[in-house]
Amino acid sequence: NAGVTQTPKFQVLKTGQSMTLQCAQDMNHEYMSWYRQDPGMGLRLIHYSVGAGITDQGEVPNGYNVSRSTTEDFPLRLLSAAPSQTSVYFCASSYSWGGNEQYFGPGTRLTVT
Amino acid sequence: SQQGEEDPQALSIQEGENATMNCSYKTSINNLQWYRQNSGRGLVHLILIRSNEREKHSGRLRVTLDTSKKSSSLLITASRAADTASYFCATDAVNTGTASKLTFGTGTRLQVTL
């Protein structure tokens, strides 16, 4: 199993540009989530999904959209990038939405200039 | 808002010594989890302890949970240089009617020197 994969690994955007961060898992996990990690802030939940077609907001959802058309994929869209979105983004998945251990991808380091 | 806060923020020890990190949280939880993050990598799950458990072991790791004090500790015994990483606690708060959402603390950076 590849586990949780994320692309790209690095990305530089100009303010106002849009882009999609890709996340895929091959473990047939129900639950997928996106976090951002900023220095000194730990990880903060952006959006999550408990299954195909079902998404919900986390702690810091503004400026981001998600969709879950398949069990495997959970892309994160930045609608109009801002310097405040400079961060490292992690996708994670777990077997179910009931508080189980989460498996993390390697992360995408995004810089917005 | 941060549910879990780790203490200390940074810890430097020599190989072979034990390392203890603490986590405090604010609201009632279903479970508490500890994760490790090596520099520039994703997080790796270490151990999960449920609210009705007080202690759990996994290899050189020992986790305790005190729900009355809303705190947990992670003990790494006989540390190795490979244990150098950041360690995060994450809480799954009691939240009726919605899916579980982990809330992470700010982490403890552990440096193990030879």
3-state SS, residue B109 = strand
Contacts of B2 in chain A (CB under 8 A): 41-42
Contacts of A100 in chain B (CB under 8 A): 48, 100
Residue of B nearest to A37 (CA): B106
Residue of B nearest to A106 (CA): B42
Average pLDDT along chain B, 114 residues, taken 10 residues at a time: 78 98 94 95 96 97 97 98 97 73 92 96
pLDDT at A105 over 90: yes
Put simply, the answer to whether A97 touches B99 (Cβ < 8 Å) is yes
Cis peptide before A8 (omega within 30 of 0): yes
Q: What is the pLDDT at residue A100?
A: 85
Q: Please name which of A103, A110, A101 lies closest in space to residue B42, comparing C-alpha atoms.
A: A103
| Two tokens, residue B48 | 């999960």
- Round to whole Å and give the CA distance between A85 and A71: 27
**Contacting residues for A86 by C-beta, under 8 A, at least 6 apart:** A110, A111, A112
Q: Please name which of B30, B97, B3, B24 lies closest in space to residue A41, comparing C-alpha atoms.
A: B3
Q: Please name which of B26, B22, B27, B44 lies closest in space to residue B35, comparing C-alpha atoms.
A: B44
Percent of chain A whose pLDDT exceeds 70? 100
**Partner A contacted by B106 (CB < 8 A):** yes
Mean pLDDT of A61-70: 97
